[in-house]
Each structure stands twice: as structure tokens, then as C-alpha cells.
Amino acid sequence: MQMMTRDVLLEMDQEEEEDDDGDIGLDNLEQTAVSNFGVLESQPDFRTPEFEEFNGKPDSLFFNDGQRRIDFVLVYEDESRKETNKKGSNEKQRRKRRAYESNLICDGLHLEATRSILDDKLVFVKVHAPWEVLCTYAELMHIKLPLKPNDLKTRSSAFDNFSWFTKVLQVDESIIKPEQEFFTAPFEKNRMNDFYIQDRDTFFNPATRSRIVYFILSRIMYQVRDNVKKFGINKLVSSGIYKAAFPLHDCNFSHKSEDLSCPSERYLLYREWAHPRSIYKKQPLDLIRKYYGEKIGIYFAWLGYYTQMLLLAAVVGVACFLYGYFNQNNCTWSKEVCHPDIGGKIIMCPQCDQHCSFWNLNITCESSKKLCIFDSFGTLVFAVFMGIWVTLFLEFWKRRQAELEYEWDTVELQQEEQPRPEYEAQCTHVVINEITQEQERVPFTTWGKCVRITLCASAVLFWILLIIASVIGIIVYRLSVFIVFSTKLPETLNGTDSIQKYLTPQTATSITASLISFVIIMILNIIYEKVAIMITNFELPRTQTDYENSLTMKMFLFQFVNYYSSCFYIAFFKGKFVGYPGDPVYWLGKYRNEECDPGGCLLELTTQLTIIMGGKAIWNNIQEVLLPWVKNLIGRCRTVSRTEKITPRWEQDYHLQLMGKLGLFYEYLEMIIQFGFVTLFVASFPLAPLLALVNNILEIRVDAWKMTTQYRRMVPEKAQDIGAWQPIMQGIAILAVVTNVP
């Protein structure tokens, strides 16, 4: 279907400089209609939304007429009321915005502008998509909509007889009613009578309406200069022409909306999902999917399933840990090391050349006892168990994911996905499609694509080498500081035998090196996050799924090397190349290679994992929960200090935090890194599944709480599965079997 959209294009004089150097004259404004297939001329129309006063209804989701639903909100700062008015720059911003809003009106959207109650410089532009626009774009986007109610009978399960046992964990269906199931099909206007349309106002639910409007906002142009098209709300927000663009929450999370036409789904989600008293209940996945979209729904479904599977691993891990703890005194190795006539008479060679002296084996008595807790027969059993567990988890999740694809009607989603606006803007080359033998526009030639891939791969390789260089730096630190601790620590702790037997030079070196390694990991994460986004933007993937998969692979590859390289060094390389007495091996020709404790490096690996996992969890909670809460608290305090007037729903949502399009990406990344710690090095730390289980139980509710109460509502998006994270987990599982081989 050829879908044409009317847009206002801003032509600038050829002699003018770039946007920041010249004015944009309205005399050069011309009206065109643009589609994916061509450009058509039409008459100019410079309509902009009229200002309306707030009607005093704080929970209203409609225009002042009470009929047209608000599907999206745009926010900008009125240049005429700014204290410091840069005339040229502000005038250009105003005219770009005026052209953009005029294009939205020409495309069929309805706009209504209202000044802020709290700050008269802010203007809120409410966007409404009428029925005809929704139908037109629903067909263009291949959105599946109900044909008729599903009348197929569901088969009973053998586990239904035990439903009484899990009833206390279920969501109360009297509060959150089950969604009615329908047969669906991609919408077509010429077959409208075949669809289940009982009420035009409810046929497109709020999530679908917001998705359609965002699709329009992302493709409406506001300027054309030198045949370069500039369009999309994302560019306007990033350049400061608009301050924000978001769909509305349907009510306040703490109480139901007084408007009976609003479903108050946010309130239900907070009460039955995000509230601490619901921590033991199952998640209302259908309502999450309905309110936030399939993409967020599939994330919480995966996180909940992963947490359930961790329960079994945590029980076995605790059992293995307790077995080692209660049998540590029966460990033959520990008895021999601690015995004064055996370990006390075995003299060990110095661990460094100049400042280290000979030492007796029995000074490692305490560390050998701790080592027996983690290195026992239970560890062997647990390593075998985790190899089986990770395989079963992945296979069971595939089954659960297939069920969700069917229930949420996303089986054929890949065929419906549209190109990204950023991709469409760069399509300047015409090529012949090898399959259809028709002309199509692409952003670059085959040679150009090869060059981009080569440059992106080189950049990723450079940053991976930078991480390896930081790991080498930590190794050099270990070698250097061990000599210092070997010389100074005994003198410092002279006479304090109770401390000295626990704080050995080896332990002090390990703890300080782990802390420094954690700090470097966090710093490199912040830097590479921006670099990975720049590289992916330069690569220019076609669809949003391709974009996220490409970014996912780059970020995980970096995070894998960043988080796990030091652990792999301790587990598989440290102490393996030390030579023998009289002929030690030197690192860089200067530093003598590190040696493990006589019992091995397992205890040091446990220390490294504990510091990195614990520090990462604390840092993530501060970054994800505490900072948004503090920012919103400060914003509310400022709001109360200014005025006690009633604020509308759109202004309340504007003062919430922006989660961003990649917000969910970081949630996945955090959990996958944890999944790696739980599976790759679990033999050295059997309590890792228990810590992960506790963390994930809290993580689900914390993510639900911040998404429901602290963040603006994200644009609902479709998703068929967890994307590139699935093959990443499979790769980790294969590697975990290798690393945990007894």
C-alpha cells in the first residue's frame, strides 16, 4: 500500500550557512506530501495549535472538549519568555517547531497547546490521532487487531489439581481481570467490517494508539536543505527544540482515576506488582504487556522465569556449602598443614627475590581451612549439577518463550517491522534488489557497507585490547605490591598474631587488587557505553531489532572481557607458570610471576567474585533506584514551594525521569552478567546462586517500582523474544560446562 503523508519542508537559501549560523525565513516554506515512494506537491498550510487553558481536571487524559484522547505529549520552552533570549537561535528553533507542528496537523493529527501551571515558559502540546489516521497507519504498520473472540476450549492440565497450593501466589482475578482472547489479523481498511469493532474509542487500546502516534512523530519532516531531509521527534528533542516527548500514564499510581473512562491500569500494577507487599506473588504479565508493551513484558517474563530456576540452584548450592563448612575440620589437607609436626616443619621457598624470607607451611593454616569449605566433594557435585541446570534452564525457557509468542500473538512479528527513521533518512543510493529485481533505496553501496563494518570491528577490537591492557596493569600491580606487603605487613602487624594469621601478604594483595579492578571496570563501562552507541549509529542498522542486536553484541563482548578477564586470569593462569625453585619465571623480564597459596587460587577467586558481584549490585541499585528517587523528590519539593495549584496529568508525568530507549537494554545486560558469574565460576562460590536469587527477587520489584512510579511511560514496543540475549546465554552455557569441568 502506498501511504502518503503531508509534510512541511523548510528550504534554506543556498548561500546560508548551517543551522547555527543563519535564519530560516518563512518565505521559503513550501508544502509537500511525502511517502516512502515519492514526493508530491500541495498547497501551503501553516496551521499551528491554539493555546487552551487547563480545565482543572488533574487526571484527565483528554483534550478540553473531553472527547479526544491524548495519545502523546510534546513539551517545549517558549522562546519569547526566556530570560536570556538569543534572537537568531531561538527564532530558528521556533520556526522549525512551527513547521513540524504544521506538518503534524497536515498529516491528520489534532494538536492542543496548554501552558504550564508551574512554569509559564513551558508549553505542553497534546497530540490526538483521530480514527482515520489510526486506521491508515495500522494498515501501514501491519498491526494485528481482533477479528472475533477466541472460542476454542483450553485443555486442562494435570497440574490444575494442585492449583489450591499455589493460589496464594496468584494474582487476584477479581482485581486484575483476565484479558479476553481474540483471533487476530493484520488490519486492512478495505476489510474493516471483518474486524471486531464494537466501539471505535476502545478498538485501538492506549498502547497501540501511542505506538502509532510515535511512528508518525518519528517520520514527520521539519526541514530539507541541500536534498538532506531532517525529520523525527528524536532529533528535535536531542537538539533542544522540544524538551520532551512521551505518552501519558493513565492515572496516579497511588489512587484510582476519578475519570471512569480511564482504566487505572497503572494503579493496579503498583498495587499488585510493584508494591512490597506483593513480593511473593506472581507477576501479572498480561497486564504488564498490555500497559507497557510486549518488549517490557517479555523482559519481566524472562527475569521471573530465571529467578524461579535459581531457587533450585540456590538450594543445592547452600547444601554443598554447608557440607564443606561442617566438614572443614575433617579435611586431610587442612589437618596436615595445621599440624605442627607436619606443616610446621615444612619450609617453603621465598615468594620474591629480595625482601621475602623462607616461611613455614603452617602459617597458611587458616586459609587452608577456608579453602576446604569451597574445595570439597560438595563442590564436585555442585559443578556437575550446574552444568545440567544451565542446559535445562535454556531449554525450558525456549518452551516458555514459544508459549508467550503464541499467547501474545507475536509469531510473525519480524515480517511487520518497519525500517528505522535514521536508516530511511540516509537512503540515497538506488540499487536492484536481487530477489525482487526491483529498484530500492539503500543508505550505502556494498563497498561502503564493507568499509563501515571494518571500521566498526576495528574500533571494538581496540577497546577490547584496552581492557586487556588494564588487566595487565592490575597484574603488574599485584607483582609490585606483593613485595611491599611481604616486607611491611609483618612489621606493621608485629605482635598481633590473631590478625596476622588472617591478613597475609597474599590476602592483602588480592583484596586491594580486586577493589582497584572493580573501580577500573566501572570507569571503562561508562566510557565504552557511549563508544558502543556511536559505533552502532555509524553502522546504521536497518530496523530497531537489528540496531538493538548489534548494540547488544558489542556491549556484551566488552562487558564479558571487562568483568571476567581478571577472574579468568586467577582461575586458569595465575600460578601456572612460576617455574621451580632456583629457576623462577619472570613477567616482563622484571617481575617474578605470582604464585597461588599452597592449596591453589580458589579462595582468591572467591574473594574476587564477592567484591565484583557485591560492588556491582550496590552500584546498580544506587544508579537505578536512589538517583531517580532523589531527583524526583527534589523536583516535587521545588514544585510544592512554587505553588499549591492542581497540576494536570501531563505536567506530573513531565517531572518524572526519562528511562530512555536503551533503559531495558541495561536491565538485560545487568542480569546476563550476573548469569555469567552464577554459571562460569560457580565451583569457587556455591553461594552465588543464593545471592543471585535474593538479588533478583528484589530486582523484579525494584524495576517494577521505578518503572511504575519514578519514570515516564515508555512508548510500547513489540518484541518476539529476548533477541540477541538468547544466543549469548547459550554461549555462556557452553563455556560454563568447560570452566566447571572437575
pLDDT digits (tens, 9 = 90+) for 352-367: 666 667 777 777 777 7
Q: Strand runs (DSSP E) across 129-193, as ranges?
A: 144-149, 182-186
Task: At 296, list the grid cell.
Answer: 517490557
Whether residues 348 and 221 fall in one domain: no
Regarding predicted confidence, which is higher, 595 or 268?
268
Task: Identify the residue with better confidence: 132 or 508.
Answer: 132
Average pLDDT over residues 151-179: 65
pLDDT of residue 91: 79
More confident of the two residues 672 and 363: 672
Q: What is the DSSP string of 34-76?
A: EETTEEEE-------PPB----S-TT--B-TTSSSB--EEEEE
Q: What is the pLDDT of residue 228?
A: 62
Q: Give the Cα separation of 578 and 412 in Å (integer).
A: 57
Largest pairwise CA distance in the chain: 102
Span of 3-17, 128-142, 380-394, 411-425 with lowest mean pLDDT: 3-17
pLDDT of residue 504: 62
Which is more confidently placed, 520 or 634? 520
Inter-residue contact 361 to 343 (CB < 8 Å): yes
Average pLDDT value for residue range 415-443? 67
Regarding whether 214 and 120 lie in a shared domain, the answer is yes
Do 384 and 244 belong together in one domain? no
513: cell is 587488587
At residue 307, the pLDDT reads 94
Do 287 and 244 fall within a single domain?
Answer: no
pLDDT band for 246, please (50, 70, 90 cuts): very high
Which amino acid, residue 510? Answer: S
Residue numbers of the domain that contains 57 = 4-143+198-248
Tell me what pLDDT residue 1 has. Answer: 33
- Domain presence at residue 306: yes
- Residues 620-645 have pLDDT tens digits of 777 777 777 777 777 666 655 555 66
Tell me the CA distances in angstroms from 208 to 105, 154, 205, 342, 524, one per residue in order.
Answer: 20, 27, 5, 75, 39
CA dihedral 705→706→709→714, nearest 10 degrees, is -120
**Residue whose grid cell is 511487520:** 416
List phi, psi (to 5°) of 739.
-70, -25
pLDDT score of 16: 35
Nearest to 195 by CA among 140, 153, 138, 152: 138
In a domain, 511, yes or no: yes
Q: Is residue 530 pLDDT above 80, yes or no? A: yes
Q: What is the pLDDT of residue 17?
A: 35
The DSSP bridge partners found for residue 69 are 62
Cα distances from 305 to residues 199, 202, 357, 696, in angstroms, run 37, 32, 54, 11
- Mean pLDDT throughout 20-48? 38
DSSP states of 688-711: HHHHHHHHHHHHHHHHHHIIIIIB
Lowest mean pLDDT among 8-12, 304-308, 481-485, 519-523: 8-12
Instruction: Assess whether 239 and 359 both reside in one domain.
Output: no
Please tell me the predicted confidence (pLDDT) of residue 475.
78
**What mean pLDDT value characterizes the chain?**
77
- Strands of 200-271 (E only): list them: 221-225, 228-231, 244-246
Is 106 part of any domain? Answer: yes
For residues 24, 26, 31 and 37, what is the CA-based torsion angle, rounded to 10 degrees? 0
- Domain membership of residue 289 (yes or no) is yes
Q: CB burial class (10 A; 0-12, 13-18, 19+) of residue 612?
A: buried
Backbone angles phi, psi at 586, to 5 degrees: -110, 145
**What pLDDT shows up at residue 642?**
53
Handedness of CA 244, 250, 251, 257 (dihedral sign): positive
Same domain? For 241 and 300 the reply is no
pLDDT score at 259: 64
Residues 450 and 387 occupy one common structural domain: yes
The confidence score (pLDDT) of residue 31 equals: 37
pLDDT tier, 324 (very low <50, low <70, confident <90, very high otherwise):
confident
254 in any annotated domain: no
Q: Are residues 353 and 293 in the same domain?
A: yes
Q: pLDDT: is 525 or 207 the higher one?
A: 207
Residue 593 clears pLDDT 80, i.e. is over it:
no
- Strand 4-10 and strand 29-35: the pairing is antiparallel
Residue 734 lies in a domain: yes
**Is the same domain home to 235 and 327?**
no
User: What SS3 state is found at 450?
Assistant: helix
The pairs formed by 13-16 with CB atoms below 8 angstroms and a separation of 24 or more are 14/226
Higher pLDDT, 524 or 203: 203
At residue 314, the pLDDT reads 93
Strands 110-115 and 122-128, by their bridges, are antiparallel
* Alpha-helical segments (H) within 107-205: 131-140, 163-166, 200-203
- Out of 191-200, 291-300, 337-346, 663-672, pick the least confident: 337-346
For residue 111, the cross-strand partners are 127
Residues 6+ apart with CB under 8 A from 244: 73, 74, 75, 237, 654, 658, 712
482 and 409 in a single domain? The answer is: yes
* Cα gap 739→742, rounded to integer Å: 9
Q: Which residue has the higher pLDDT, 288 or 519?
A: 288
Within a domain: 166: no
Residues 709 and 596 in one domain: yes
> Is residue 357 located within the same domain as residue 435?
yes
Which of 206, 227, 248 is the last residue before a domain boundary? Answer: 248
Residue pLDDT, tens place only, 78-119? 877 766 555 566 778 888 888 899 999 999 999 999 988 888
Q: What is the mean pLDDT of the segment spanning 10-34?
A: 36
- Residue 76 to residue 245: CA distance in whole angstroms: 9
690 belongs to a structural domain = yes
| pLDDT reported for residue 88 | 61
Name the DSSP class of 360: E
Structural domains in the chain (count) = 2
If one counts every other C-beta atom within 10 angstroms of the C-beta of residue 66, the result is 12
Kindly tell me if the per-residue pLDDT of 43 is higher than 50. no
Task: Name the nearest CA neighbour of 397 among 389, 409, 387, 408.
Answer: 389
The pLDDT tens digits of the residues spanning 556-582 come to 888 888 888 878 888 777 767 766 666
CA distance 76 to 608: 48
Query: Confidence class of residue 662 from pLDDT cuts 50, 70 and 90?
Result: confident
Q: How far is CA 136 from CA 182, 433, 589, in A?
A: 22, 27, 72
The Cα 726–Cα 724 span in angstroms is 5
Cα angle vertex 315, ends 312, 321, to 5°? 140
